[in-house]
């Protein structure tokens, strides 16, 4: 509060008037609204790319789960990440508490964020903000998969993918925490050990690629 404002309030009190409260700035709410708009617009772009069927009604919704899995696999072979996400999302909608299907939806969404066609044309994510929006949604799906996992191996797979997303987002320290947690809880998981060593090598010498990180397994 400035001196001028303080003196004006004192004069109003002396005259029996109640000073007007200062209006609060709406910046925090505006920021939250902008984040919500970015997330909704990013997912809307995916639905537009897949014909508006991602996770919802589809003309072929009467297909069996095996046929849907096969079509997702074919889309992955074609590197059509948006269509692969479309099938993965509808599979997960059929069994919303199936950790493996939720993890598949999350990794498919991550592929949409970073995938490009063989021609070099980028899919839905055209900017870094688009990719961040989709990867945050993918992270949420992977977190749900970890919470719903009914075996230590399934939990380790979901948490391992979260660690890899932290690496992609430039947070190797958070990724290392996850790999350490997985290694403590599931000592037989080879991916956590391999990626943990890779991240540690980068901490020791950021200019060196260290050991080659293991290939990411499909969910």
Tens-place pLDDT, residues 102-129: 999 999 999 888 876 555 555 555 677 8
Tens-place pLDDT, residues 3-25: 555 555 566 555 554 444 444 44
Tens-place pLDDT, residues 28-38: 444 444 444 44
What's residue 145's pLDDT?
97
Tens-place pLDDT, residues 182-193: 999 999 998 888
Alpha helix (H) residue ranges in 15-151: 27-49, 65-77, 81-94, 99-114, 128-148
Residues 6+ apart with CB under 8 A from 32: none
Instruction: Give the residue from 15, 89, 12 showing the smallest Cα distance to 50.
Output: 89
pLDDT greater than 80 at residue 67: yes
What's residue 105's pLDDT?
94
What's residue 8's pLDDT?
59
* CA atoms in the 13 A half-sphere facing the CB of 192: 22
CB-count exposure of residue 99 (10 Å: 0-12, 13-18, 19+): buried
* CA atoms in the 13 A half-sphere facing the CB of 80: 13
CA distances from 162 to 14, 121, 134 (A): 62, 27, 13
Residue 199's H or E segment, with its range, is helix 190-204
> CA 88 to CA 82: how far, in whole Å?
10
Radius of gyration of the chain (CA): 24
Task: Show contacts of 170-179: CB within 8 Å, 24+ apart.
Answer: 172/199, 172/202, 172/203, 175/199, 176/200, 176/203
Does this model's pTM top 0.85? My answer is: no
> CA 166 to CA 182: how far, in whole Å?
15
CB neighbourhood size of 130 (10 A)? 19
Cβ–Cβ < 8 Å for 131, 38: no
pLDDT greater than 70 at residue 50: no
> CA 146 to CA 183: how far, in whole Å?
15
* Three-state secondary structure of 115-183: CECCCCCECCCCCHHHHHHHHHHHHHHHHHHHHHCCCHHHHHHHHHHHHHHHHHCCCHHHHHHHHHHHH
Mean pLDDT of 48-69: 63
Tens-place pLDDT, residues 116-165: 655 555 555 567 788 888 999 999 999 999 999 999 999 999 999 999 99
More confident residue, 151 or 52: 151
Mean pLDDT of 36-52: 49
């Amino acid at each position: 509060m400035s001196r001028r404002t303080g003196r004006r309030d004192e004069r109003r009190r002396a005259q029996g008037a109640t000073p007007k409260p200062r209006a609060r700035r709406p910046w925090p709410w505006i920021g939250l609204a902008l984040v919500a708009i970015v997330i909704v617009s990013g997912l809307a772009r995916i639905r537009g790319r897949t014909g508006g069927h991602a996770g919802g009604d589809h003309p072929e919704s009467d297909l069996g789960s095996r046929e849907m899995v096969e079509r997702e696999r074919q889309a992955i072979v074609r590197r059509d990440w948006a269509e692969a996400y479309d099938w993965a999302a509808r599979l997960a909608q059929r069994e919303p508490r199936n950790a493996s299907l939720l993890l598949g939806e999350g990794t498919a969404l991550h592929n949409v964020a970073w995938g490009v066609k063989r021609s070099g044309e980028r899919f839905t994510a055209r900017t870094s903000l688009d990719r961040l929006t989709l990867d945050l949604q993918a992270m949420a799906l992977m977190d749900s998969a970890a919470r719903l996992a009914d075996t230590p191996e399934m939990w380790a797979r979901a948490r391992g993918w979260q660690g890899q997303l932290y690496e992609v987002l430039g947070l190797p320290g958070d990724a290392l925490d996850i790999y350490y947690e997985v290694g403590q809880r599931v000592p037989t998981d080879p991916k956590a050990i391999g990626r943990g060593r890779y991240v540690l090598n980068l901490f020791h010498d950021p200019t060196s690629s260290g050991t080659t990180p293991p290939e990411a397994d499909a969910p």
